[in-house]
A and B are shown apart, each in its own frame.
Chain A
Amino acid sequence: MNFFFEVLIGGLLSGVMYALVALGFVMIYKASGVFNFAQGAMVYLAALAVVGCMEMGAPLWLAVILAFAIMTLFGIATEKFVLRKLVNQPPIALFMATIGLAFFIEGLAPLLFGSQPRALDLGIVDEPIAWVLDNWNMVISKFDLVAAAVASLLVATLALFFQYTRVGRALRAVADDHQAALSIGIPLQHIWAIVWGVAGFVALVAGMMWGARNGVQFALTFTALKALPVLILGGFTSVPGAIVGGLIIGASEKLAEIYIPPVLQDLFGGSFGGIEGWFPYVLALLFLLVRPEGLFGEKHIDRV
């Protein structure tokens, strides 16, 4: 039973890391109704910007500020050169534009900061907490706990931002209908620049946490793969949904990885495992059949 809880807690903490990436998708989708294919690439760019600035001699705090500035500039440039021309175009056009953007970032980021995989030391050791290990014989990582705290703080801040600020309300209005938002005087271009800037900030946080955990390298773009089932479960428009979805995906994939292969081996013989790559997608698919808008997503009703 001890082992079960160890796997469960480890899974929940991993889920928080997925949620960090998923939050960036939610930000863009909430404000523009676009699934931002480039979010994984933005995570990569943000983390590379931090280590790149550190290599040029900047201390960590300054590197983070500079990276944030880079991500904000990137957000403004995206609005000006990519999105502005696509106002009122079907969402698929915007989606296609983000695919192009992803390839562009994947080429640009290593060009600016180099492609060499590098370590990012945030001063948080990824080691088990000794007290928990000694008393409960369970491995709970200090790093994962910090990541959970960071994610909680980020979610709380974003939820408050969307709910209670003028800009937040304007973002939601833009997401509902570009044209209607423009007609009541909401400056669409500013709003999009802000939202891409905020998504850049979320990408920066996710990039730093994932980069500190696995190193800063091209594979950071793959973190987006982990965020997709989280979004399907939590809903594309819900900030808290990203966290809950992340927890469900993290816990279920870890438990599945441990407990399903032995059953399959007993049934069919041979060797099974490595199922956590596809298990979250199957879970998300099943969930789609029951609740297509996700746990916390907005239910869309068309009256005819």
Chain B
Amino acid sequence: MSRKPAFAVAALSLSLLAQGVLAAEEQFFPIPSYRVGPYGANGQSFYGGFIDYLNYVNLKEKGVNGVQLTWEECETEYNNAKGVECYERLKGKAAKSSGPIHTMSTGISYALIDKTAQDKLPLAMMGYGRTDAVDGSVFPYAFPLVTTYQMQASAVVRFVKDKLGGNLAGKKIVYLYHDSAYGKEAIVAMEAEAALNKFALVQIPVAHPGNEQGAQWLRIRQEKPDFVVFWGWGVMNQTALKAAQKVGYPRDKMVGSWWTGSEEDVIPAGDAARGYMAATWNVAGKQVPVIADIEKVVYGAGKGNLQDRSKIGSVLYNRGVSAAVLSVEALRRGQEKFGKGRALTGEQTRWALENLDISEARLKQIGATDLLPEIRTSCANHEGSGKVKIQQWDGAKWGPVSGWIEGNKALIHPLFQASAKQYAKEKGITPRDCSKEK
């Protein structure tokens, strides 16, 4: 055998091996997304931002330490049954390597919480989902990251308190909420805050879908509250703003949850939305360096995910980027422990999400200041932050009107622990000992 063919065979083998290695070093993201159906407009912006950032990391840095990011979307239409179907379809691919799964749906998250734990795949629920999963000793694979409905409500009350001169005693706050699990989640926090701060709390539910709120707003007019804390969803948001205008209630005395604070929530209400405020954990706009750079790098390369580029910089687009930033930072954290340049399994990503430490300095370094608050997670705290900002709609754009506000952790977190304990009892789960987790 001459040397030439032997060399060729060796080169070919090496090349195939290299390809094999490269194929193995791909980090897969299962993405059960929604871009059509009732809430398709929200999903388009969020998942557009999410995928654009993954592409950005691939284009700019050639992946995370050389590990290319790959993904597959499956359309859920914000439907729980379809969400589960998508998960079942994608989990096979995720068995080898998996980034955090973002469903952007509390209902789908609830449906997947047991399944993901069984399949050892990490479920991220940024600002939504099952909130007692903050207690990671009971929910090792579920992560209600950044903020929960309860901590958010507490932060909103803190903001209102500041607005009303630092004292809520004797004041009246109306809690106007979507009459669903989502709307009811924050009641316990509002009641705890009312007891602590001695303000009168008036709870007014709105039946789904909330496209008619005449009676509720006439009642609000009668109650003459100092502020309205608003937990709306979908069409309920615009209807509330229009109804507030109709009864003459000032919009700058309304603060909503983050589900009520995107362009999609206020533009249909027209002028009625001017002055309205809502919680958020990411600012809107292209002034955030990484957002501007995504437009340049990703859309410049013709690889942008959005058909409608005007959505770049919107609240929900930036939130999608925010979720992707957090996910990619988790991969970096995981690779520090499990080996740089290696794709992470679901179990390893879970560890990474539980050991996140994203500082302001790091956010600045990657150009993501104000896309996320600082986050430090642990086994006992899967939320990692609990901070939000309040933003205000000026008729054309959202702008922040507060710094980071943290909910009252001492008041709220024990509520999660009690609820998680109850869940563990019902399901026969033995909680992990968080002091032994590293």
Binding site for B on A (CB under 8 A): 3, 6-7, 10-11, 13-14, 17, 107, 110, 114-119, 121, 126-128, 133, 139, 141, 143, 210, 213-219, 221-223, 225-226, 253-254, 257-258, 271, 273-278
- Of the candidates A3, A118, A213, the one whose C-beta lies within 8 Å of that of B242 is A213
Closest to A258 in B: B215
- Would you call B215 and A11 a contact (CB within 8 A)? yes
Q: Which residues of A contact B245 (CB under 8 A)?
A: 126-127
CB distance from B41 to the nearest CB of A (A): 5
Q: A107-B36, A218-B37 are in contact. Are A254 and B215 (CB under 8 A)?
A: yes
Q: Which residues of A contact B44 (CB under 8 A)?
A: 115
Q: Interface centre among B41, B204, B238, B246, by most A CB within 10 Å?
A: B246
Q: Which residues of B contact A223 (CB under 8 A)?
A: 211
Q: Which residues of A contact B225 (CB under 8 A)?
A: none
**Stretch from B5-13, B106-114, B134-142, B263-271 contacting the other chain:** B263-271
- Would you call B218 and A116 a contact (CB within 8 A)? no
- Would you call A139 and B248 a contact (CB within 8 A)? yes
Q: A115-B36, A115-B44 are in contact. Are A121 and B207 (CB under 8 A)?
A: no
- Would you call B247 and A139 a contact (CB within 8 A)? yes
Closest to A118 in B: B268
- Would you call B215 and A10 a contact (CB within 8 A)? yes
Q: Which residues of A contact B214 (CB under 8 A)?
A: 7, 10-11, 13-14, 254
CB distance from B259 to the nearest CB of A (A): 14
CB distance from A84 to the nearest CB of B (A): 29
Q: Give 22 pairs: A residue, B residue, CB < 8 Å, sorted on A.
A: A3-B222, A7-B218, A10-B215, A13-B214, A14-B212, A115-B36, A115-B40, A117-B41, A119-B267, A128-B248, A133-B248, A141-B246, A213-B239, A215-B268, A216-B268, A217-B235, A218-B37, A218-B39, A219-B235, A222-B235, A258-B215, A271-B187
Q: A258-B219, A277-B208 are in contact. Are A215 and B269 (CB under 8 A)?
A: yes
Q: Which residues of B contact A107 (CB under 8 A)?
A: 36
B94 contacts partner chain A, Cβ-Cβ < 8 Å:
no
- Would you call B212 and A271 a contact (CB within 8 A)? no
- Would you call A214 and B211 a contact (CB within 8 A)? yes
CB distance from B320 to the nearest CB of A (A): 16
- Would you call A6 and B218 a contact (CB within 8 A)? yes
CB distance from A2 to the nearest CB of B (A): 10
Q: Which residues of B contact A127 (CB under 8 A)?
A: 245-246, 248
CB distance from B348 to the nearest CB of A (A): 37
CA distance A273 to B216 in the complex (A): 9
CB distance from A225 to the nearest CB of B (A): 8
CB distance from B96 to the nearest CB of A (A): 34
Q: Which residues of B contact A143 (CB under 8 A)?
A: 246
- Would you call A128 and B272 a contact (CB within 8 A)? no
Binding site for A on B (CB under 8 A): 36-41, 44, 179, 187, 203-209, 211-212, 214-216, 218-219, 221-222, 234-235, 238-239, 242, 245-248, 264, 267-270, 272, 308
- Would you call B204 and A214 a contact (CB within 8 A)? no
CA distance A17 to B216 in the complex (A): 17
- Would you call A119 and B247 a contact (CB within 8 A)? no
Q: Which residues of A contact B221 (CB under 8 A)?
A: 139
Q: Which residues of B contact A116 (CB under 8 A)?
A: 41, 264, 308
Closest 7 CB pairs of A and B: A215-B268, A277-B207, A219-B235, A274-B205, A274-B179, A257-B215, A273-B205
Since A10-B218, A214-B268, A273-B204 are in contact, a sample of 18 more A-B pairs with Cβ atoms closer than 8 Å, ordered by chain A residue number, is A7-B215, A10-B214, A115-B40, A117-B264, A117-B267, A117-B268, A128-B248, A141-B246, A214-B238, A215-B238, A215-B267, A218-B41, A219-B235, A225-B209, A226-B212, A254-B215, A274-B205, A277-B207
CA distance A170 to B245 in the complex (A): 46
- Would you call A215 and B235 a contact (CB within 8 A)? yes
Q: Which residues of B contact A276 (CB under 8 A)?
A: 207, 212, 215
Q: Which residues of B contact A214 (CB under 8 A)?
A: 211, 235, 238-239, 242, 268
Q: Which residues of B contact A7 (CB under 8 A)?
A: 214-215, 218
Q: Which residues of A contact B203 (CB under 8 A)?
A: 271, 273
CB distance from A121 to the nearest CB of B (A): 6
CA distance A119 to B232 in the complex (A): 18
CA distance A141 to B212 in the complex (A): 14
CB distance from A72 to the nearest CB of B (A): 27
Closest to B235 in A: A219
Q: Which residues of A contact B208 (CB under 8 A)?
A: 277
- Would you call B216 and A217 a contact (CB within 8 A)? no
Q: A10-B214, A139-B248, A219-B235 are in contact. Are A119 and B269 (CB under 8 A)?
A: yes
Q: Which residues of A contact B246 (CB under 8 A)?
A: 126-128, 139, 141, 143
CA distance A47 to B38 in the complex (A): 15
Closest to A3 in B: B222
CB distance from A90 to the nearest CB of B (A): 30
- Would you call B207 and A275 a contact (CB within 8 A)? yes
CB distance from B241 to the nearest CB of A (A): 10
Q: Which residues of B contact A218 (CB under 8 A)?
A: 37-41
- Would you call A119 and B216 a contact (CB within 8 A)? no
Q: Which residues of B contact A225 (CB under 8 A)?
A: 209
CA distance A127 to B241 in the complex (A): 12
CA distance A119 to B187 in the complex (A): 31
Q: Which residues of A contact B215 (CB under 8 A)?
A: 7, 10-11, 253-254, 257-258, 276
Q: Which residues of A contact B37 (CB under 8 A)?
A: 218
Q: Which residues of A contact B36 (CB under 8 A)?
A: 107, 110, 115
- Would you call A219 and B209 a contact (CB within 8 A)? yes
CA distance A217 to B272 in the complex (A): 17
- Would you call B211 and A278 a contact (CB within 8 A)? no
